[in-house]
Amino acid sequence: MGDLAGIYARLIGARVRSQLEYRASLALQFVGMAVLTGIDFVAILVLFENVDALDGWRLEEIALLYGIATISFALSDLAVGHLDLFPQMIRDGTFDQILVRPLPSLLQVVASDFSLRRLGKALQGLAVLVFALTQLELDWTAGKVFVLVAAVIAGTVIYAAVWVALATVAFWIVDAIEFVNAFTYGGSYLSQYPITIFGRWLRGLVLFVLPLAFVAYFPALVILDRESGLALPAELGYLTSLVAAGTALVAVSAWNGAVRHYRSAGG
Amino acid sequence: MPLDRHRPPVRLHWELARRGFRRYAAYPGATIAGLFTNTFFGLLIAYVLLAVYETRVEVGGYDVVEAVTYVWLGQGLLSVVASFGPTWSELALRIRSGDIATDLQRPLDLQAAGLAQDAGRAFYQLLFRALPPFVVGGLVFEITLPDDPMRWLAFALSVVLAVAVSFAIRFLVNLWAFWLLDYRGSLALAMATTSLLSGMVVPLVYFPGGLADVVRALPFASMLQAPIDVFLGEELGGSTLVVLALQLLWAVLLLGLGRALLAAGTRKLVVQGG
């Protein structure tokens, strides 16, 4: 396990160094990414030109959700976002080359890219989070600080696990695999808002199937001392790390199971 | 190289449009996946706007039914006006690789040929990407449809103009590659501007006061907000003709600007190896 982490760090280190060779280009893409993804928050600001609260959540409270969700998503995008290109590896047979190397296939696929420009989105999310924390007059406790920090880490793991689990579908369907975007990018959008505004089946989906409600909603309930408004208690916000660990376990098992059933197109 | 040396017959553009259509028809899997994503996002945005209308009866001139109609029409039209996708950088990639030199040697007008292919693409997307999410939205939520056949006609015309303006904007963004070595940063900025100012993420009528009227008059609004306003009968200035005229104006101006830029870029072009 420690060996694998070392190998991953070396592979990623090489990718980072090669991107740092083109600093001006990287800086432009970084800024472009921050602005492009910042549009989502501008949209929220426009909505709040017309209302004081969304389902009882004020702007700075929504900004807290948005900050946690956006940073987590950006970090998971950095780590595994290139899984969007994984179906192409199945289609053109490059995944077969991965299988003959003496390293776990998921590690190799995940280490195949590390686009630093994706951090532009994290920076933008961090700016909104800082705005939220300065506007909200919070009674900070050690528990709340823990929940906030754990939320960003657990959120990153949950998004990444959802991405991996859904990418395994590409072992069976290569053609329509872009449907995964609905849940990854859609999941990022959804977590920016209180879960309670969405319809019943959508709430069920993000509570029990793809546990996206644990990325930002439950942690924010704890930090803001709010009632959950759902069948589950707000205190679950303390347990996001457990949910993340469970989700990651399911995702890795799904991947390994799928690889065992994989039959190359090349026979 | 003079662009208008050859005047190709209408037949050529018809064939180009058909190929634009068939190119997208060749990937039904991508269409199904895109439909699913559009519908899912439509649901999410519709629920967000429903939350807005919990405390308001009317926002920016839209009641709740009009707002929900906006969402589903918008999700449907997204792919028709190509808010995302490869057409934002296809030509730019050919400029960067130098393949553009081959394109310029062909006896056809690069911009007219591109527009014809894009029309074929847009027609495919209209049939297979725009209609289904709108029908799903109409089944799940209450939406409104125009009763006046003239309004349907005006809407159809507005969509055609929206595709023309959208093509003109994408053509301009692609041509930046003549001057910028790395155009990806500016491409991201252009797409961000378009997605906010076309009304894709939030209806432009929700913008505060005078700002709403300003952004509704910009060319980006011609891509999405304008046809939806014609559909809903909530046009800028209260007149369908004003909106259609504005769209036509932007289409002509931006296509003209694209021609000028292409000519300037072609003069500048130096291809490795002579």
CA distance B39 to B33: 10
Residue ranges for chain A with pLDDT beneath 70: 265-267
Rounded to the nearest angstrom, the minimum Cα separation between B47 and chain A is 6
Q: What percent of chain B has pLDDT over 70?
A: 95
Q: Which residues of A touch B30 (CB under 8 A)?
A: 175-176, 178
Task: Check pLDDT > 50 for residue B274.
Answer: no
d(CA A98, CA A106): 9
Which of the four pLDDT bands, split at 50, 70 and 90, describes residue B192?
A: confident
Section B29-50 average pLDDT: 91
Could you tell me if A171 and A262 are in contact, meaning their C-beta atoms sit under 8 angstroms apart?
yes
Interface contact B44-A43, CB threshold 8 A: no
In degrees and rounded to multiples of 5, residue B63 shows phi and psi of -90, 180
pLDDT in tens, B51-82: 999 999 999 899 999 999 999 999 999 989 87
Mean pLDDT confidence for B80-97: 84
Average pLDDT (B115-127) is 93
**Which amino acid does the sequence have at B161?**
L
Average pLDDT of span B18-45: 89
DSSP conformational letter for A57: B
Please state, in angstroms and rounded to a whole number, the distance separating the CA atoms of residues A260 and B150.
Answer: 60
Note the pLDDT tens digit of each residue in B139-173: 999 999 999 999 999 999 999 999 999 999 999 99
**pLDDT value for B4:** 52
What residues of chain A have any CB closer than 8 angstroms to a CB in chain B?
24-25, 28-29, 31-33, 35-36, 38-40, 42-43, 46-47, 49-55, 173-179, 181-183, 185-186, 189-190, 193, 197-199, 202
Interface of B to A at Cβ within 8 Å reads 27-30, 32-34, 36-37, 40-41, 43-44, 47-48, 50-52, 54-56, 59-60, 182, 184-189, 191-192, 195-196, 201-202, 206-208
CA angle A20, A22, A27 (to 5 degrees): 85
Q: Give the span between the Cα atoms of B137 and B67, in whole angstroms.
A: 12
Amino acid identity, residue A31?
Answer: V
Range A129-134, long-range pairs (CB < 8 A, 24+ positions): A129/A63, A129/A64, A129/A66, A129/A67, A129/A68, A129/A70, A129/A71, A130/A67, A131/A60, A131/A63, A131/A67, A132/A60, A132/A61, A132/A63, A132/A64, A132/A66, A132/A67, A133/A64
Cβ atoms of residues A77 and A156 within 8 Å: no
* Range name among B5-9, B234-238, B242-246 with the lowest pLDDT average: B5-9
- pTM comes to 0.89
The pLDDT confidence band at residue B1, using thresholds 50, 70 and 90, is very low
What's the whole-number average pLDDT of chain B?
88
Tokens 């939806």 sit on residue: B228
Q: What is the mean pLDDT of residues B195-222?
A: 92
Residues B169-191 have a mean pLDDT of 84
Following CA atoms A13, A15, A16, A18 in sequence, which dihedral angle do they give, to the nearest 10 degrees? 120
Amino acid at A237: G
Structure confidence at residue B270 (pLDDT): 64
Question: Whole-angstrom Cα distance, residue B64 to residue B112?
Answer: 41
Return all residues near B272 (Cβ < 8 A) that are at least 6 apart. B98
Which of A31, A173, A189 comes nearest B44 by C-beta? A189
Alpha carbon separation from A42 to A61, B234, B263 (Å, rounded): 15, 23, 37
Instruction: Kindly state the average pLDDT of the residues B98-114.
Output: 87
The pLDDT value recorded for residue B191 is 85
Instruction: Domain ranges for chain A, please list them.
Output: 2-260
Q: What percent of chain B has pLDDT over 90?
A: 57
In order, the DSSP letters of A12-26 are HHHHHHHHHTSHHHH
Residue A54 sits at φ, ψ, to 5 deg, of -110, 115
Q: What are phi and psi of B182, to 5 degrees?
A: -120, 105
Are B44 and A190 in contact (CB < 8 Å)? yes
CA distances from B240 to A127, B155, B166, B199 (A): 41, 9, 20, 18
Q: Which residues contact B146 (CB under 8 A, 6 or more apart)?
A: B152, B155, B231, B233
For residues B186-197, average pLDDT: 85
- What pLDDT, on the 0 to 100 scale, is given for residue B181? 72
